[in-house]
Amino acid sequence: MCIRDSGKRLDILEALARYGYLTPQQIQRLGIYGDKASLYAALRSLKGLGLASGTAPQSRPGEGRFPGVYALTPKGAEHVGLALDELVLPLRGARPGGPPLDVEHRTAIVDCHIALDAWAATAGHTVGHFLPDFARSTRKGRRATAITTGSGDYCADALAWLDGADGVRRPLVLEVYRGGVRERPGYLLKKLPEDLRHVATDEVRGWFAKGYTGKLSALRLLVVTATPALRDVVLAKPPVPELPAWRVTYLKSLDEVAVDFGAGWWRMGGRQEPLIPQASPAT
């Protein structure tokens, strides 16, 4: 069985291998299919061949509609691995389902990954690694991004790094905050200081430095909120502002990330900066 008769369907499988989960809207954003009818026909075909699994859109009273989500099956992972000549592992679990809020959170992480790829391709950087917390873990009972620090296990939403043409590796820690369906800031304001304390530890930086002998820049914590309103709550009154990790913390809302991943990150104090200043290539 092969699908070499359809390059676009193989493109979908390769995109699922890179990003883990994808909604039909995200697949269209990647430019694989421009027309919705053809895209849904291709997804039905991949499901019929047993190469991809997917969930139908979900609705819950008072919480809106959640998009369908697709992922590789073990068979699909093997197929695309042969096409790419590399090992591709399916996500943990047989289906990309789960509580709608969890699905929304995972697809928001993917939105950030897609935006990072698009920006890096035009900014002279390579996304050398992007590990979301929902990736298949090699450590039983622990999330893929789990790092043990002096304060316990820290599980970032994603750990990534950029490799620049200047030979510098730039570590990125991503945290996506949705604030629940009603955009409540309480969880964000409680958890963010915990994340800031973890990010400042030697163990987190050591994770990025392990096995790497080149130049490593300062780590950046990227805090992405579901809405500008949630972002503004943090900027108006940063929780525990004396924590050192605020110096490496950058904030944006999801819609701002989609427009331009590299520019216009908000910093404590209300100023905006690019993620990587062009005048300082080694920072």
| Per-residue pLDDT, 94 | 44
Nearest CA-CA partner of 92 in 107, 105, 77, 104 = 77
Q: Which residues contact 1 (CB under 8 A, 6 or more apart)?
A: 49
CB atoms within 10 A of CB 176: 25
Region 149-160: what's the mean pLDDT? 93
| Per-residue pLDDT, 224 | 97
List pLDDT tens digits, range 185-212: 888 999 999 999 999 999 999 999 999 9
From the number of C-beta atoms within 10 Å of its C-beta (0-12, 13-18, 19+), residue 202 rates as exposed
- 3-state DSSP helix/strand/coil % of the chain, to nearest 5: 40, 20, 40
List pLDDT tens digits, range 105-124: 889 999 999 999 999 999 98
Say yes or no to pLDDT of 5 above 50.
no
Say yes or no to pLDDT of 41 above 50.
yes
